[in-house]
Structure 1
Amino acid sequence: MPKVFIIFYSLYHHVYTLAQHIQKGLESQGVEVELYQVPETLDDAILEKMHAPAKPDVPIITADKLKEADGFLLGLPTRFGIFPAQIKSFLDSTGGLWSTGALAGKFAGTFFSTASQHGGQETTAMTAITYFAHHGINYVPFGFANPHLFDNTEVVGGSPYGAGTVANGDGSRQPSEKELDIAETQGSNFAKLLLTFEKGQSIVTKQEKKTSPVTENGNGQASVQPEIKSKAKKVREESKADKKNKCFCM
């Protein structure tokens, strides 16, 4: 089964709440899920002045651990329409993984929290995509996969880029039932994509084994099947004979 890491920063737990419901969606498809938060960059004195609650009981992620997952869902609170310094600090620490291509071919999605409906949930996604592009990570947008995204009767966070919530400037608004349902849908859909990809890889691998001209000899070394050798030799001989009968003129 694919393994997905949900990685987030959540000062007032809005993003953490979304992460828990995205986890439900992922696990509903049988995917293995692990939750992590990025390291905090503010000291305790500043957090106290900001009236920040205690951090969730979730382990801190390290850059090297990213190699273990098949996909990531990043929970991104916004700061002036982009993600906060804590997320940037963590992503900037992945330079060693970038230099070796360790994350290339993996999958990633995003989800958000903003103070208002116009706080930049989509622009925050776009700033994250640049990191995915440089790593060769496949970005998975959410689309309008949940009908609540069409609801204009009340405030509903989220966008085609991922689930979201609107927290108010003072953080007093908690994620609504509709926003949590959107989060579960995103998790479920992300899991289905990874499962489809995994099955496709398995099928391709089996087909390659059936049709591959390379086999193992008794010593465990690769060798070309005899019939393939014979065909290759015949083609070379025919090519030489053809060249002798041709006149190459300038």
Structure 2
Amino acid sequence: MAKVLVLYYSSYGHIAKMADAMAEGVRQGGGEADVRRVRETAPDDVAKSAGFVVNENHALLTDPNELTNYDAIIVGTGTRYGRMSSQMAAFWDTTGGVWAKGGLVGKVGGAFTSTATQHGGQETTLFSIITNLMHHGMTIVGLDYAYEGHTGLDAVNGSTPYGASTIAGGDGSRQPTEIELGGARHQGKRIAELAAKLSV
């Protein structure tokens, strides 16, 4: 059984919902899933005035050395101008010691994201996450086209081969659709299955 970490940052709850769906997929793939969040770095008054939502059901992960306890790591964050959020970047900036020891080499990695608009930087944000994972020597698994949600044209949905995604809307009112959550489940399942094969 692969042990999989779903590590995320979410300002308004969209990514937290996607993280739970990703973990559900991991379990469907026979894996053990831990869902953790990274620390909020915005000042308290800024976070409060912006209406940030913290999911207290998911514990913080602050020690980068904990990453080495997992067979796979799936990283999710909303986009900030086409790249990962500063909160998530700040966490990965602390992983130099893990990198120096090759602590994540050969493990499986994946990414997921959320944007306000349909073309709001989902793919570049996913690649900004994937770049970090590849520098750590991880094998990347995206959202493959066996997931039928990629091909539907009946509604606007976040969907890229590089990772699951959702569209939040400019005011954050749009919640992840079943197609978007299904993409997260599909990717999580694939990652768990591959991680189990590689860790034998």
TM-score of the superposition, structure 1-length normalised?
0.77
Q: Structure 1 or 2: larger strand share?
A: 2
Structure 1, residues 127-177: CA drift from partner, whole Å, max 9, x if none?
A: 122212221111112222311111122111120011111001110000011
Cα shift readout 1:53-72 (whole Å, capped 9, x = no counterpart): 34332111121100100100
Cα distance in structure 2, aligned partners of 1:190 and 1:6: 11
Question: Does the alignment pair 1:148 with 2:186?
Answer: no
Question: Residue type matched to 1:12 in 2?
Answer: Y
Cα deviation digits, residues 75-101 of structure 1 (max 9, x gap): 121011100100100000000111111
Q: CA RMSD in A?
A: 1.2
1:52 corresponds in structure 2 to 52
TM-score, structure 2 length as denominator?
0.95
- The answer to whether the Cα contact below 8 Å between 1:144 and 1:159 also exists between their aligned partners in 2 is no
Q: Which has the higher mean CA deviation after the structures are superposed, 82-91 or 183-192?
A: 183-192
Partners in 2 of 1:18 and 1:124 — Cα distance?
15
* Alignment partner, residue 68 of structure 1: 69
Is this contact kept in 1: 2:149–2:159, CA < 8 A?
no
Q: Which residue of 1 aligns with 2:137?
A: 136
Instruction: Work out whether residues 167 and 173 of structure 1, in 8 Å CA contact, stay in contact via their aligned partners in 2.
Output: yes
Ranked by relative contact order (alpha carbons within 8 Å, sequence separation 6 or more), the top structure is: 2
Number of residue pairs aligned between Structure 1 and Structure 2 = 199
Q: Provide the identity percentage.
A: 38
- Contact (CA 8 Å) 1:116, 1:167: kept in 2 or not? yes
Residues 183-213 of structure 1, C-alpha deviation per residue, up to 9 Å, x if partnerless?
Answer: 1111111111112223xx4xxxxxxxxxxxx
- Where 2:60 maps in the other structure, the secondary structure is coil
Please tell me whether the aligned partners of residues 112 and 158 of structure 1 are also in contact (alpha carbons under 8 angstroms). no
Say which SS state the counterpart of residue 76 (structure 2) adopts. strand
Q: 2:171 corresponds to which residue?
A: 170
Q: Residue 24 of structure 1 aligns to a residue in which SS?
A: helix
Structure 2 gap ranges (5+): none
Q: Which amino acid aligns with 2:18?
A: L
Larger Rg: 1 or 2? 1
Note if 1:37 corresponds to 2:65.
no
> Counterpart of 2:26?
26
Return the alpha-carbon distance in structure 2 between the equivalents of residues 42 and 94 of structure 1. 20
Hey, what does 2:85 align to over in structure 1? 84
Secondary structure in 2 aligned to 1:86? helix
Q: Which amino acid aligns with 1:69?
A: Y
Give the counterpart letter for 2:196 in structure 1.
Answer: L
Equivalent residues in 2 for 1:88-237 (5 A)? 88-198=89-199, 201=200
5+ residue gaps, structure 1: 202-250
Change in Cα spacing, 1:179 to 1:88, as seen in structure 2 (3 Å) is same
Deviation at 1:43, TM superposition (A): 2.0
Instruction: Output the CA distance in 1 between the equivalents of 2:152 and 2:56.
Output: 31
CA contact under 8 A between 2:163 and 2:187: conserved in structure 1?
Answer: yes
Query: Residue type of the partner of 2:48?
Result: E
Verify the 8 A CA contact 1:165 1:179 in the aligned structure 2: yes
